Amino acid sequence: GESVGLHLPTLSVQEGDNSIINCAYSNSASDYFIWYKQESGKGPQFIIDIRSNMDKRQGQRVTVLLNKTVKHLSLQIAATQPGDSAVYFCAENSKTGFQKLVFGTGTRLLVSP
Amino acid sequence: DVKVTQSSRYLVKRTGEKVFLECVQDMDHENMFWYRQDPGLGLRLIYFSYDVKMKEKGDIPEGYSVSREKKERFSLILESASTNQTSMYLCASSSPPRGQIYGYTFGSGTRLTVV
């Protein structure tokens, strides 16, 4: 079945470093991808999305890269700050039946000062 | 901004109780979703609804039911709570243009403990 996975369950970085969070997806027909950030005790918050007609999309301090050839998605956070510490989820759209998002299990980003 | 409000942040219920989790969104979204979130398992879809009085099973509907009598409100019901339903429950909504898909807006979650 469809699945979205993450390479690393926990990523530890120093404040000011760039962070890269990776995600592998299995459905080659998926054409929409999204990253969410979830801080402790809160619901997931939208960070950035990308459609399959793009390879790269930039936001404020964040960049999402999409490699459809190897079905890989990454989230890059520039100049990581302590406030970026959270769990990050990728999701892809289900292309079967009613379109809905399929979520990965999440990567915890820990930023130390 | 769209706001999705879940009525309780924390709930403790006894095994066998009937439990109601309420979710309200204030932006006239058509689609609403209930997920549960468990460590190592990510977000798993329980039920969703794409219109008033419409409901569809997600990936793990067993032991749950839902109600959507009004567009803004989507309720999750645990018919007879069990300890394996202890979890974080997240409600979400979305309103994509026809044929499109967009990200969801999530509530803050309800952490349910069944004892």
Domains of chain B: 4-114 (2.60.40.10)
Among chain B residues, CA nearest to A30: B101
CA atoms within 13 A on the CB side of A95: 14
Distances (CA, A) of B22 to A89, A103, B100: 24, 22, 27
| Per-residue tokens: A23 | 């995600």
B106–A45 CB contact, under 8 Å:
yes
CA-based nearest distance B39→chain A, Å:
8
Above 60 in pLDDT, residue A5? no
Which of B41, B90, B103 is opposite residue A43, by nearest beta carbon?
B90
Would you call A98 an interface residue with chain B, using a CB distance cutoff of 8 Å? Answer: yes
- For chain A, the domain total comes to 1
Average pLDDT over residues A84-88: 95
Give the model's pLDDT for residue B68. Answer: 97
Q: What confidence tens digit (pLDDT) does each residue in A7-42 have?
A: 448 999 999 999 999 999 988 889 899 999 999 888
Q: Return the CATH number at A85.
A: 2.60.40.10
Q: Structural domain of residue A9, as residue ranges?
A: 4-112
